[in-house]
């Protein structure tokens, strides 16, 4: 996809997320344990087919070298599913923890040693949840070089992944939500 088309899709995504009031003001405790005066309520958006369509189109051209698409439960599963459908690459779902029954799997879907996996996430702050998913893939023989996040809160996740030799590509950052959008 051409850069111009990508930029147009990014602008569309920002507009759609703004229209759905994804950024909420107030006092919130984040999954990282940090307190914040705003919350990115991405679940309002990723349950919307129009938003998922734009997200999947933004990511699909970036995952050509990957064998699989993965997303940690719960928020990234719809995103990973949409990207899987667009890219025609098999899906992996990463549980928060191994289930205590049945097969006790942490990863749902088939992962073979050496397969390259692109991992998607809904929101990152420090990147802890996404990093746990990446580790699960690596510990099960997968290779992760690139990860994607719909909204980066710009609180260190990109830098943390860079230190580990993994590229984290935000579709948009919280600073993209200016008053002019």
User: Which residue positions form the known binding site for 5-phospho-alpha-D-ribose 1-diphosphate?
Assistant: 95-96, 99, 121-129
Query: What count of other Cβ atoms lies within 10 Å of the Cβ of residue 84?
Result: 23
Binding residues for orotate, as ranges, are 125, 153
Using DSSP's 3-state secondary structure scheme, residue 34 falls into coil
Binding residues, as ranges, are 95-96, 99, 121-129, 153
Kind and range of the H or E run holding 59: helix 49-60
Cα–Cα distances in Å, from 111 out to 68, 76, 151, 180?
8, 18, 27, 44
- Phi then psi for residue 124, to 5 deg, are -125, 145
- Is residue 131 within 8 A of residue 156, CB to CB? The reply is no
């Amino acid at each position: 996809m051409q850069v111009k088309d990508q930029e147009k899709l990014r602008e569309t995504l920002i507009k759609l997320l703004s229209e759905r009031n994804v950024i909420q003001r107030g006092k919130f405790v984040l999954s990282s344990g940090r307190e914040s005066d705003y919350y990115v309520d991405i679940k309002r958006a990723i349950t919307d087919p129009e938003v998922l369509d734009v997200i999947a189109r933004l990511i699909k051209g970036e995952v050509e070298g990957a064998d699989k698409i993965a997303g940690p439960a719960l928020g990234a599963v719809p995103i990973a599913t949409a990207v899987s459908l667009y890219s025609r690459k098999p899906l992996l779902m990463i549980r928060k923890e191994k289930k205590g029954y049945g097969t006790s799997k942490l990863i749902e879907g088939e992962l073979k040693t050496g397969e390259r996996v692109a991992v998607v996430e809904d929101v990152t702050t420090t990147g802890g949840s996404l990093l746990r998913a990446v580790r699960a893939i690596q510990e099960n023989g997968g290779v992760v070089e690139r990860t994607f996040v719909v909204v980066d809160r710009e609180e260190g996740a990109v830098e943390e992944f860079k230190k580990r030799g993994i590229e984290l590509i935000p579709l948009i950052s919280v600073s993209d939500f200016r008053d002019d959008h």
